[in-house]
Every structure is written in C-alpha cells, then in structure tokens.
C-alpha cells in the first residue's frame, strides 16, 4: 500500500507512528511546502527573538532521523495544488503527480489576513511558519517600533517578546480584551496588566484598516481614525483551514474538511486530521475547526490507525489553551464565558479560578496563576464526569485527587495508592 500524507506537522508525525506500529512495509510519502522537519509552531516567537535556534532539538517534535527510522520518503518545499480523488493522485506546483492508495490530509491552517490597504509594504509580517519567522528575525535590525495586529496567543506572545527585546510595541485588538475567546474579562485583565508592565501599549476595540508608507510601512491607520507611527506591522489575527488545493477534489468541506468519527472524509480512501478539519467538539456538541496541538496529534494517530483497518473512533475534543505572558501563566478549556450556565469563580491572592457547569458536568474552566491541577479538570471535561458531589470544592486552592475516595483513585490511576 502507498500512503501519502499532505502536511508535515504534529498530525503527520503521529499518523506516521500509528501506521508503523501496525505496518512496517507500506510506502509512506510526506509532502510539505516547508523545507523543515516537523517543528513547534508555538515556539516561533522564541525563534524570532533568539531564545531558541534552528539547531535546538527542543524546537522539533521528533529527532532528526525520525523519517529515516520510520522509512518515510519526504517531499519538502513542494506545494500541493490539487487532488484527483478519482484517479488517486495529488498534483504539485511543478505539475508533478504523486499517486496514492490512501491519502491523509494534515495541511494545517494558513494566516487570516484582514482587509487593509498596504499589506504588500516591506515591514509587514505574519508569524505562522519558519519562513515568516526567519523574515521577521532578519528584519529586527530595522524595527524600533512595531504594531501587532491581533491579541491572540501568538500576537500576545510576540508582543511580549518584542517588548522585552527593547521594541516599542503597540498591540491593536478588535475585541474588548486580548485572548478573546480564550479568556473572559477577568482573566484577560491579568494579561493586560502584565503586557502594560512590559511597556506594551494596548488599543482595544479598534482595528487597523490601512497601512501607509512609500516602500516600507511607516504608519498604521485605525478604524477610529487614529494613526500609529511604526517601523513594522505583525498581522496575527488567527488562522483558517488550508483548503485551497481541495477545490474540485470532491472532498466535502464547510469551514474545514468534514470527517466522520474515524477521521475519514466522504471519500473512503482519504482521511484528514488536525487544523484543516472540522471535528467533533464534545462541549458544544457540534463539528468545527479546533486548531489545538494535542487534538491534531490525536486525530493524526487515529487516521493512521484506521488506514490500517483498526476502526478507532475519535471521541471528540475541546479547546485547550495555555500560555505564559511575563510572570502570569494561565490555562483555559472548553467554554470560558457564558451567562446561561452555572458558574463558580473566585479571585484572590494573584489567582483566578472559574468553572462552568452544565447539568452537573464540567464544560469549561479558567485557571490563572495556579494551574497545577489543570489535568484533573481536563479529565473531567473529557469524560463528562458527574461533578455534583465535588464542584463546591473546585474553588479551593488545594483541590486535588485527595478529595476523591481511595477506591476511586485506584480505579482512576489503575495502580496502588499508598
């Protein structure tokens, strides 16, 4: 069997490992428009500033010999421009065709660029891959002032990193808070305070509509009419599934590639996993893109196993986000803001804890400051655990497995509890 995988990130490498657990013989070909082995996208801001380098193994998901060890042929630096599902081949930008018996699409997402004049000017950057990170890093010598458009995870992190690097940073966010919808108002205030302490100027509830300059960007004009003098602009307003090459393939898409419980598309020889898909969200009970690394890894593994005939179901997932800005760490999961469900929350001593409960099932939470027990709450959400007898203890800073009976802990961990 000949298996082709489009994309080369965490979903791809987990699919490869799953296939090789069952099948040492089939040919595997991984195709990517990037030249690098699979690397950590969340570390791109660190790469820009120099906190980590290309030679640092921490930047990569697997060792340098991963592809050789797993007998994977790589076709790197080649963009896929089409799929013929009827004739079972993919087409590359150089008109080369690669045939397949089974295909896994793990093409991830691409940056969403809002409508604004001047995005073609020098000094305008995105930060979604190594190429864009290298371009920004090379340009740092020219940047004393920078506008970051978008206060999501990457936008907030690069704003922090640049400010620590001595750049005068202005972060512009359309919503009333950064990290929307990852945090609620209270949680975001911790991040606002930390960014401001680093010298980042926050402009909330506004957007950049135009970039001015002769050859290089010199000014960002906001919808409010304000303008900001700048040497560079980083556009970081999110990503969307990379679907351009899917057109005319016969693969069903909505906001992302539609897959069933087995990560299989409507075409039985084609599977998809990761940020490019719409998969089941157990919290909202709907299918939608959830561009979260652990889910991409799990989906890739399931796609790989099912190509080998294992019939493993994807039970669904939910958004989980975590980051450290300055001295503040937080983690959030599932639903983080609502006025329709039961809410438990407390704010004290530099900590913020919030839990959202629906019919005695935990469906979302925010931990700011003390995030040590996040894994427990993740388990409760994933397993739709009945928290009716336990939820009143969630706000305790010492909450942990000690609140459970010894019998339950033995069952949960499948080991002896001393």
The CATH number for 395's domain is: 3.30.390.30
Cβ-contact 181, 152 below 8 angstroms: no
The answer to whether 390 and 399 have CB atoms below 8 angstroms apart is: no
Task: Assess if residue 52 is contained within a domain.
Answer: no
What pLDDT band is residue 272 in, cutting at 50, 70 and 90? very high
User: How far does Cα 101 stand from its chain's mean position?
Assistant: 29
Confidence check: pLDDT of 418 > 60: no
What would the pLDDT profile of 214-230 be if each residue is shown by its tens digit? 999 999 999 999 999 99
Residue 314 maps to a domain: no
Residue 66's domain comprises: 2-41+61-110+241-307
Q: Is 232 exposed, middle or buried (0-12, 13-18, 19+ CB in 10 A)?
A: buried
Q: Tell me, yes or no, whether 153 and 206 share the same domain.
A: yes
Question: Is residue 418 situated within a structural domain?
Answer: no
Same-domain status, 208 and 269: no
Asked if residue 32 belongs to a domain, the reply is yes
User: Is the preceding omega at residue 220 within 30 degrees of 0, hence cis?
Assistant: no
Same-domain pairing of 288 and 256: yes
Q: Which of 204, 237, 270 marks a domain boundary?
A: 237
Say whether both 388 and 402 belong to one domain: yes
Last residue of a domain, one of 192, 222, 237: 237
Residue with tokens 């969307």: 240
CA distances from 220 to 11, 112, 169, 217, 235 (A): 37, 18, 13, 8, 12
State the pTM of this model.
Answer: 0.93
32: domain CATH number is 3.50.50.60
* CA 218 distance to own-chain centroid: 31
More confident residue, 285 or 401: 285
373-394 residue pLDDT tens = 899 999 999 999 999 988 988 9
Q: What percent of the chain has pLDDT over 70?
A: 97
3-state secondary structure of 263: coil
Q: Is 117 contained in some domain?
A: no
Same domain, 106 and 195: no
Same domain flag for 294 and 151 = no
| 363 is a domain residue | yes
Q: Are residues 196 and 336 in the same domain?
A: no
- Is there a domain that residue 186 lies in? yes
In terms of domains, do 172 and 254 share one?
A: no
pLDDT of amino acid 406: 63
Q: How far is 393 from 416, CA to CA, in rounded Å?
A: 25
Q: Does residue 258 sit in the same domain as residue 200?
A: no
Indicate whether 98 and 34 sit together in one domain: yes
On whether both 248 and 300 belong to a single domain, the answer is yes
- pLDDT digit string, tens, across residues 59-76: 999 999 999 999 999 999
- Model pLDDT, residue 219: 98
What is the total count of domains within the chain?
Answer: 3
Would residue 73 count as lying in a domain? Answer: yes
- C-alpha distance from residue 186 to each of 100, 171, 176, 334, 345 (Å): 51, 19, 12, 17, 10
**Domain's final residue, options 255, 272, 307:** 307
| Confidence check: pLDDT of 410 > 70 | no
CA atoms within 13 A on the CB side of 99: 4
Bridge-based pairing of strands 286-288 and 277-281 is: antiparallel
Together in a domain, 130 and 202: yes
CB 136 within 8 A of CB 302: no
């Amino acid at each position: 069997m000949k298996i082709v995988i489009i994309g080369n990130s965490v979903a791809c490498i987990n699919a490869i490992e799953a296939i090789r657990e069952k099948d040492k013989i089939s040919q595997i070909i991984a195709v990517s428009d990037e030249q690098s082995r699979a690397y950590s996208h969340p570390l791109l801001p660190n790469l820009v500033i120099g906190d980590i380098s290309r030679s640092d193994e921490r930047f990569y998901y697997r060792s340098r010999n991963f592809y050789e060890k797993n007998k994977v042929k790589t076709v790197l630096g080649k963009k896929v421009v089409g799929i013929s599902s009827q004739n079972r081949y993919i087409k590359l930008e150089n008109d080369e065709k690669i045939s397949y018996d089974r295909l896994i699409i793990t093409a991830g997402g691409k940056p969403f660029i809002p409508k604004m004049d001047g995005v073609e000017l020098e000094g305008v950057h995105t930060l979604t891959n190594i190429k864009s990170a290298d371009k920004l890093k090379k340009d740092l010598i020219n940047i004393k002032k920078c506008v970051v458009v978008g206060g999501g995870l990457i936008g907030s992190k690069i704003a922090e990193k640049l400010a620590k690097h001595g750049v005068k940073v202005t972060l512009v966010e359309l919503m009333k808070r950064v990290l929307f919808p990852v945090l609620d108002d209270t949680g975001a205030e911790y991040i606002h305070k930390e960014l401001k302490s680093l010298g980042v100027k926050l402009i909330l509830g506004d957007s950049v509509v135009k970039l001015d300059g002769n050859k290089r960007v010199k000014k960002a004009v906001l919808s409010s009419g304000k303008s900001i003098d700048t040497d560079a602009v980083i556009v970081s307003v999110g990503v969307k599934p990379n679907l351009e090459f899917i057109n005319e393939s016969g693969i069903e898409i909505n906001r992302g590639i539609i897959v069933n419980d087995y990560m299989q598309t409507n075409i039985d020889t084609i599977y998809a996993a990761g940020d490019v898909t719409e998969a089941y969200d157990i919290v909202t009970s709907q299918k939608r893109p959830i561009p979260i690394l652990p889910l991409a890894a799990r989906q890739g593994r399931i796609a790989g196993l099912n190509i080998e005939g294992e019939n493993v179901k994807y039970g669904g997932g939910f958004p989980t986000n975590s980051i450290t800005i300055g001295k503040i760490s937080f983690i959030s999961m599932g639903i983080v803001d609502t006025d329709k469900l039961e809410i438990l929350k407390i704010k004290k001593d530099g900590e913020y804890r919030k839990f959202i409960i629906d019919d005695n099932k935990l469906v979302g939470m925010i931990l700011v400051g003390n995030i040590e027990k996040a894994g427990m709450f993740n388990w409760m959400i994933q397993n739709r655990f009945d928290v009716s007898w336990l939820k009143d203890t969630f706000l305790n800073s010492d909450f942990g497995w000690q609140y459970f009976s010894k019998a339950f802990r033995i069952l949960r961990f499948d080991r002896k509890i001393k």
